[in-house]
A and B are shown apart, each in its own frame.
Chain A
Amino acid sequence: MNPGVLTVYRWELRKLRAQKRTYLGLGAAALVPIIFVVALATQSGQPDEVAFGRYLHDTGLAVPLVLLLFGSVWMFPLITALVAGDIVAAEDRHDTLKGILTRSVERQQVFAGKVLATFTYAVLAIAITGAVALGAGILASGFNSIVSLSGTRVSATEGLGLVGLSLCFYLVPILAVASIGLLFSTVFRNSAAAIVGTLMFSLLVQLVGILPGLGALHPYLLSTQFNAWQGFLRSPIDWGPVIRALWVCALYAAPALFAAVLVFLRRDVAGD
């Protein structure tokens, strides 16, 4: 069989499985919901000012939703950047590009494999958070119906479907963050710089979002897209923010990936 993107992808996954940072990221994705639910269970109060916050004691379905809101500030961007910012830069750290680029796969195939592996990791991180949050939440608060953002009550099973849909859609902005992490990883060739850079980017965008007078930009900020899933929790579903998130995130991700590919294809592989 001729080696190609899938070969690189498989090995990138194998490499991720052999690295501590992968488990650090996925571990955090699992641990945060547990800590959250434990803290919640030991207290009678709840964060009323957050959407779904006041239902936390009524139904486990509210737990992943509150985590999605809270996690968009820096937790999920950090978990994503941990691998996205490292996956190219690690080759520079270990000086291994000269080894893999003199085999029988083209540079663009190597890069594509890395993008796929990064996205797989991000999907896994969100899936783990979602599953653990649901599991722990249902254990603590029960599997009960939930009130949508429009004020209508949604049955537990339907609510579960909507939570799943929201988690899936949360991946749209997450993959945009991953793409930016990949760009920084490729350009900086240093994983700490790329991880911090990705996080800084994510925080700066949020800062722009709260500056007065820049309200017109608000719908087009990456941070805003982290709330787009809330459209699914209205009845009827509000497709406006959902559709906008799709193309706004593409506008962040595509140029980032394109620039990263160009740099990766053209760069000199010399120890520096």
Chain B
Amino acid sequence: MPRVTPQAIPIEVRGLVKRYGELVAVDGVDLTVEAGDVFGYLGPNGAGKTTSLRMMLGLIRPSAGEVRLFGRDPQLGVKALEGVAGFVEAPSFYPYLSGRENLRLFASLDGGDALERIEESLGIVGLAGCAKDRVGGYSHGMRQRLGIAAALLRKPRLLMLDEPATGLDPGGMRDMRDLIRELSAGGMTVILSSHLLAEVEELCNRVAIVRSGRIAYQGSLAELRAQAGDSYLLRTSDEARARAVLAAQPGIEGLEATADGTRFGARDESAVGALSLALADADAPILELSRRHATLEDLFFSLTEGDAPPPAAPAADGAPRRHPVEAA
């Protein structure tokens, strides 16, 4: 067993595929989560987030591809989960045991000094008061908190959370965000799946957006934002002529006719300047030419919805697809 060096990469996923009969739940996912990342794994329902996380935790066998956690393969046994904790879907417990007993069970199976961290973990998630009650009577949000506590018992260097905020009340969500920030500041690497863009925006430095089992975008949030800003709206007195000019103009791409005019992407601002001159030459007076700051939300929807199939080859790590971003 190779010694785990602190600089080993927390998560490396290459060509990960999971098929359920005809259905391809995860379709060639490549993912790298670096030490210190708070990585958002974002996608709509059924995109394959949970299935990917299950494979990363060694709970299900990939149909193809591989996972490395700190350089170790979780398919080969629980040694690979040393320093790794997390849960998929709603965390589950033995309903006939108390919250504390459930944690004692998990801590016993963790070994080491996990048993000594039970009270501290219960305190962190705010369950110390009802730890003696049977989990059968816990609310969804309380189980979610207990799931976090169970993960903290392992004192992980890598924390994997599948939609950690589901079922939490607003206060619980805030506590969860604060906790993740605090853990991250303490050096923990975190991957969390979510369909809530806002949650990911607030917490994560890097994201992967999945759609139908494929990565549609992977990179830093800053790059994603830059990409999101790169859109213009043009309205002229002669739309047909303007469209022809746009189509012929270098550095202009992604034309889309909307009710307000024509939306397009530009390679850079000089391309927009050249466009305005070309429109004047073509006798298509500009009524409006403005830069649109598309929100991340728009981008998320454009990446995860619509008929366009996701790109055959997912973007290389850190390099967003579509238009290359220059000033990131």
Residues of A near any B CB (own CB < 8 A): 1-3, 7-8, 10-11, 14-15, 18-19, 94-106, 266, 268-271
CA distance A39 to B127 in the complex (A): 53
Residue of B with least CB distance to A95: B92
Asked if residues A103 and B92 are in contact (CB atoms below 8 Å), the reply is no
Listed A/B pairs (23) with beta-carbon separation below 8 Å: A2-B111, A10-B108, A18-B97, A19-B96, A94-B93, A95-B89, A96-B92, A98-B92, A99-B93, A100-B105, A100-B106, A100-B109, A101-B59, A101-B78, A102-B58, A102-B78, A103-B81, A103-B154, A104-B82, A106-B78, A266-B61, A270-B59, A270-B60
**What is the CB-to-nearest-CB distance from A111 to chain B, in angstroms, rounded to a whole number?**
14
Q: Does B70 have its Cβ within 8 Å of any Cβ on chain A?
A: no
Asked if residues A8 and B96 are in contact (CB atoms below 8 Å), the reply is no
- Given A18-B97, A270-B54, A7–B109 Cβ distance below 8 Å? yes
Asked if residues B60 and A99 are in contact (CB atoms below 8 Å), the reply is no
Asked if residues A271 and B78 are in contact (CB atoms below 8 Å), the reply is no
Asked if residues A94 and B95 are in contact (CB atoms below 8 Å), the reply is yes
Count contacts on B: residues with CB < 8 A to the other chain. Answer: 34
Since A96-B94, A268-B54 are in contact, a sample of 7 more A-B pairs with Cβ atoms closer than 8 Å, ordered by chain A residue number, is A95-B92, A97-B59, A98-B89, A102-B57, A102-B59, A103-B81, A269-B59
Instruction: Classify the interface of chain B: helix, strand, loop or mixed.
Output: loop
- Given A11-B105, A15-B97, A100-B106, A105–B59 Cβ distance below 8 Å? no
**What is the CB-to-nearest-CB distance from A13 to chain B, in angstroms, rounded to a whole number?**
12
Residues of A with C-beta under 8 A to B150: 99
- Given A18-B96, A104-B81, A98–B61 Cβ distance below 8 Å? no
Residues of B with C-beta under 8 A to A269: 54, 59-60
Residue of B with least CB distance to A10: B108
Q: Does B110 have its Cβ within 8 Å of any Cβ on chain A?
A: yes
Asked if residues B91 and A99 are in contact (CB atoms below 8 Å), the reply is yes
Contact of B87 among A1, A11, A99, A270 (CB under 8 A): A99
Residues of A with C-beta under 8 A to B57: 98, 102
CA distance A106 to B154 in the complex (A): 16
Asked if residues A98 and B111 are in contact (CB atoms below 8 Å), the reply is no
- Given A3-B111, A104-B82, A99–B92 Cβ distance below 8 Å? yes
- Given A15-B94, A98-B87, A104–B109 Cβ distance below 8 Å? yes
Residues of B near any A CB (own CB < 8 A): 51, 54, 57-61, 77-78, 81-82, 84-89, 91-97, 101, 105-106, 108-112, 150, 154
CA distance A268 to B51 in the complex (A): 11
CA distance A38 to B140 in the complex (A): 50
CA distance A266 to B59 in the complex (A): 10
CA distance A18 to B104 in the complex (A): 14
CA distance A271 to B51 in the complex (A): 10
CA distance A216 to B211 in the complex (A): 62
Residues of B with C-beta under 8 A to A266: 61
Residues of A with C-beta under 8 A to B111: 1-3, 7, 104
Residue of B with least CB distance to A268: B60
Residue of B with least CB distance to A18: B96
Residues of B with C-beta under 8 A to A18: 94, 96-97
Asked if residues B108 and A11 are in contact (CB atoms below 8 Å), the reply is yes
CA distance A266 to B154 in the complex (A): 25
3 nearest A-B pairs in the assembled complex, by CB-CB distance: A103-B109, A268-B60, A269-B59
Asked if residues B108 and A3 are in contact (CB atoms below 8 Å), the reply is yes
Residue of B with least CB distance to A113: B109
Residues of B with C-beta under 8 A to A15: 94, 96-97, 105
Contact of B108 among A7, A94, A95, A101 (CB under 8 A): A7
Asked if residues B110 and A103 are in contact (CB atoms below 8 Å), the reply is yes
Residue of A with least CB distance to B82: A104
**What is the CB-to-nearest-CB distance from B193 to chain A, in angstroms, rounded to a whole number?**
15
Asked if residues B109 and A94 are in contact (CB atoms below 8 Å), the reply is no
CA distance A97 to B92 in the complex (A): 9
Asked if residues A102 and B85 are in contact (CB atoms below 8 Å), the reply is yes
CA distance A15 to B102 in the complex (A): 10
**What is the CB-to-nearest-CB distance from B61 to chain A, in angstroms, rounded to a whole number?**
6
Residues of B with C-beta under 8 A to A8: 109
CA distance A18 to B97 in the complex (A): 7
Residues of B with C-beta under 8 A to A104: 78, 81-82, 109-112
CA distance A106 to B93 in the complex (A): 19
Contact of B51 among A2, A97, A106, A270 (CB under 8 A): A270
